[in-house]
Amino acid sequence: MFNDDQLMRYSRQLLLADFDLDGQEALSRARVLLVGCGGLANPAALYLAGAGVGGLLLVDDDRVEVSNLHRQVAFRADQVGEHKALALAAQLRSLNPDVPVTPVVVRVDAAWLDQQLSEVDLVLDCTDNFATRQAVNAACVRHRKPLVSGAAIRLEGQIAAFDLRQADSPCYACLFGDGTEGDLLCSEAGILGPVVGAVGTLQALLAMHLLTGTPVAPQLHVFDGRTLSWRQLALRKDPHCPVCGDPVAGEDG
């Protein structure tokens, strides 16, 4: 049950017929893991905390740098040098003290993910390298946890949700393969803050849909910041996927 202050805090989203009290209750029971606490996680975490998610687990081993501040807008200038997970947690607690926030300063690997995923309901991949993305995806497949993956570089962004609770859901590797090469960093290619902010914000929206039972189609959403246009590409499970595919199909292929 929600107290009067909470009902007032969430009153505008409670007005929505597609969300209402049932959605708020489902959201309040959910714990979300955000892997990476940079440009994608900043808006995603703020909106999830603001909406009243049941708990947030933040993991990142990086520190806030001055060059982050133009796009990682949850951080403040006096937090430069702090661990991102700790700095973001402080801002989220200030925004909504009712939401438990657990920051962890570590670089994730398969063993850490296997320990943590049983305690969360959904994962947001807010990282910037393929090796971590692949590890997160593989763990979500093993534990059948829904995954919302986002990426942004230059003036381009993309986002996809993989509801791995469903047996026929594609995974990240169905789309991109299981390779770990080809990282392109913002420090090398550049990024405009609103582009990564738009993708991170929509990661929060997709997470809220998945946590409240709203159907989410398996699609890759591709954003062009130059023209403010979106493209949607339908995704299908790859029976030969090295991560989630049928081993028999793999042997036959």
Distance CA 80, CA 62 (A): 11
- The residues near 232 (Cβ < 8 Å, ≥ 6 apart) are 219, 220, 221, 222
Task: Point out the residues that are catalytic.
Answer: 186
Q: Kindly tell me the burial class for residue 75, based on how many C-beta atoms sit within 10 Å of its own C-beta (0-12, 13-18, 19 or more).
A: buried
- The H-or-E segment that residue 157 falls in is strand 156-162
Neighbours of 219 (CB within 10 A): 15
Q: Where are the beta strands (DSSP E) in 43-155?
A: 55-59, 101-104, 122-125, 147-153
